[in-house]
Every structure is written in structure tokens, then in C-alpha cells.
Amino acid sequence: MNPVVHSHRLRVRYSETDQMSVVYHTNYLNWFEVGRTEFIRHADLTYRELEEKGVMIPLTDANISYKRPAKYDDEVEIRTHVSEITPIRLTFAYEIVRVADEELLVTGKTMHVFTNTALKPIRLSRTEPEVYAWLEHQHKGGK
């Protein structure tokens, strides 16, 4: 099974770096959020629309592994895919790669739970079956 991978490019801004011109470590988590947001937008859906439907996807856990630093003005690609999905939980996996040389800089995962607006867990497969089916389809590689 090869999940669908969504790619989004960005250029490292000066404000995202430290005194050594290296991307400050917490910015990668922000980039993971960009990857998630653009992944969902790829379904012609936005987080705002999900929230309007009463579905929230709060983060419960995150892990990150730093391989190489990104530096000021590097163009990087955030590669995002669904690595696990159940009716209650969703895990996204990420790779951040420098575009110029395809060097892997960072890998990571974020784990989420589906909730209503009161943050009570829900089964997305019942609440929004079309959205769940789309996410499951992405996880299975579009098969």
C-alpha cells in the first residue's frame, strides 16, 4: 500500500531561523500544520469547513526526528500523508526535504482524534462518512 502523498513547497524565511541561519526547531511543527492544512485543502475542503460541520481534529501527540538543518532561503518541500486512520483517530506522517538536493531534513508524525466542537470524541465514519471515506482512500493510496 502506497498512501497518497501531498507536497507543498515553501522558502525558509529569515524570521524562521536562529543566529546560525538554521531553522529554529519548533518551526518544523508549524510546517507540519501547513502540510496538514494543504493536504485537506487538496480534497476541496478546509479546516474551517470541517469545523462548520462540527468536526474538530485536535492534536494529541507529535514526534519529530531532525536529520539535517534547513537554512535561510532554502526551498523545502513538505510531504504529507495519512499513515493511520480509524473512525476515531488519524495520524499524519511528514517528510521535509530540501528541494535543491532532495536531502531529507526532518521526519515526523502527528496524531489526532476526531471530536465535536465540545471536544467530545466522535466516530468520523458516522458523523461525516464522505470525509472519512476520502481520508481512508488517501491512506490506501487511492485504490
Domain map (residue ranges) of the chain: 6-139
User: In DSSP terms, which residues pair with 61 in a beta bridge?
Assistant: 111
> Residue 135 in contact with residue 114, Cβ under 8 Å?
no
Q: Is the pLDDT higher at 43 or at 88?
A: 88
pLDDT at site 40: 92
**Is residue 101 flagged as an active site residue?**
no
Cα separation of the two ends of the chain:
9
Residues in the chain: 143
What is the tens place of the pLDDT at every residue in 74-86? 999 999 999 999 9
Q: What is the pTM of this model?
A: 0.93
Sheet with 6-11: list strands edge to edge.
Answer: 6-11, 75-85, 89-98, 103-113, 59-66
Cell numbers for 6 = 501531498
CATH 3.40.50.720 at 6-139, yes or no? no
pLDDT at site 74: 98
Of the candidates 18, 44, 61, 101, the residue annotated as catalytic is 18
Q: What does the alpha-carbon distance between residue 75 and residue 10 come to, in Å, rounded to a whole number?
A: 6
Residue 142 reports pLDDT greater than 80: no
